[in-house]
Amino acid sequence: MKTNFIFYSILLSCCLVFNNTLSQNADRDFKYPNIILLIGDGNGLSQISAGNYVMGNQTAFDRFEFVGLIKVHADEVSILTDSAAAGTAIACGKKTKSGMLGMDAEKNELTSILEILKGKGYQTGLIATSTIVHATPAAFYAKVEARSEYELIASQLMSSSVDFFVGGGEKYFIEREDGKNLIKESKQFEFVDNLDDFRSSQSEKIGYLTHENNPPSLLEGRTPTLGESLSVLLEKFDSNKPFFAMVEGSQIDWAGHDNDIEFLISEFKEFNQAIDISLDFAENNPSTLVIATADHETGGLSVNNGNLENNTIIDAWGTGGHTATFVPVFSFGYDAIEFSGLYENTEIFHKLKNIVSH
Ligand code: MG
Ligand code: ZN
């Protein structure tokens, strides 16, 4: 009798475990989170502080649940980095030399988180306010020794795991040294000329090259805005699959290089709006993780003083280049707590990869 009881107990617990595993797996197969990764190029803590006070001490950054810090140095003796090395660290989980994309310092090709997620059934999208072949977006799909090989990077985009993209740089696709017209030749991608066509297209892969070269700054009248492109992209993703979107506020960095606070604040506000849109989406779609970070700080900005009543700041700048100061990682939603703490920029890749490996 006792033996029977033990036997049935074991049998029962096996069934329970088995059932549990089944339902968890069934759940997880469709419940890998949507991931929105927002990268403000050059958007360090001083840039966020400046934006915060100019915007009346309230930004989308207030809405995040957790904050971490990353060490941004590249695989070099100097602790400075660039958007290629830092983008590769975030996208591919390995530090490399400045200028290199999707390769480690020994030129071994790396697999990006976008490629890993694509292999897990994700839909993928990239949006930038630079060219789409610029270092930050390219870190998610390209493998080149030099970030300036724009035409090669454009070719690599055409056969990449990227499903949707919006950014400048049409000339690297059609006015090429090899005489090819990638837009005409592409069998996979449909190219559209505006966001309305992007929205209504039924193609599984869509590219929208917004400008011949780099898009102008917002002060010069750039359209579409990051928020407009992001809203259409979020509509575009099939709700039966998880998605990965990388959204770059590219020109925050350029404002930093110019030590131009007006330029900086306008680009920051646009990036801030894209964060609001992402967090609104995450609040309505709980299986979503939103991360906002930077590749490095640009300009050595300090917020020396300011006025709370008229929302002004007094800016000072330390350099026309990048700095090695840690940059923050803000997170919200699914597994967001994993991104708190102080860690290497490469850990963002590993933390994301972990989320889809269990
Ligand atoms: Mg960039
Ligand atoms: Zn820069």
Which tens digits make up the pLDDT trace of 134-169?
999 999 999 999 999 999 999 999 999 999 999 999
- From the list 46, 83, 155, 229, the catalytic residue is 83
Give distance in angstroms: CA of 165 to centre of ligand 2.
Answer: 22
Instruction: Quickly state the pLDDT bin for 17 (edges 50, 70, 90).
Output: very low
Ligand lying closest to the C-alpha of residue 267: 1
- Show Cβ contacts of residue 329 under 8 Å, excluding neighbours closer than 6 positions: 67, 68, 69, 70, 291, 292, 293, 339, 348
Cα of 5 from ligand 1 centre, angstroms: 65
Q: In whole angstroms, what is the distance from residue 168 CA to residue 217 CA? A: 12
pTM of the model: 0.92
Q: pLDDT tens digits for 24-45?
A: 333 444 569 999 999 999 999 9
Give distance in angstroms: CA of 298 to centre of ligand 2.
6
Q: To the nearest whole percent, how much of the chain has pLDDT over 90?
A: 91
Ligand nearest to the CA of residue 253, numbered in listed order:
2
83 carries an active-site annotation = yes
Q: Which ligand is nearest to the CA of 248?
A: 1
What's the CA-to-centroid distance between 105 and ligand 2, angstroms?
A: 20
pLDDT at 358: 75
Q: For position 26, what pLDDT does the model report?
A: 38
Task: Look at residue 4 and tell me whether its pLDDT is greater than 60.
Answer: no
Tell me the average pLDDT of the chain: 93
In single-letter form, the type of residue at position 305 comes to N
Residue 14, token pair as written in the block: 């096996």
Ligand nearest to the CA of 138: 1
CA of 33 relative to ligand 2 center, distance in Å = 31
The residue-averaged pLDDT of 68-83 equals 97
Q: What is the dihedral of CA 218, 224, 272, 82, to 10 degrees?
A: -70
**Cα-to-centroid distance, 55 and ligand 1 (Å):** 24
Round to whole Å and give the CA distance between 73 and 70: 9
Average pLDDT estimate for 263-289: 97
Q: Peptide bond preceding 137: is omega within 30 degrees of 0, i.e. cis?
A: no
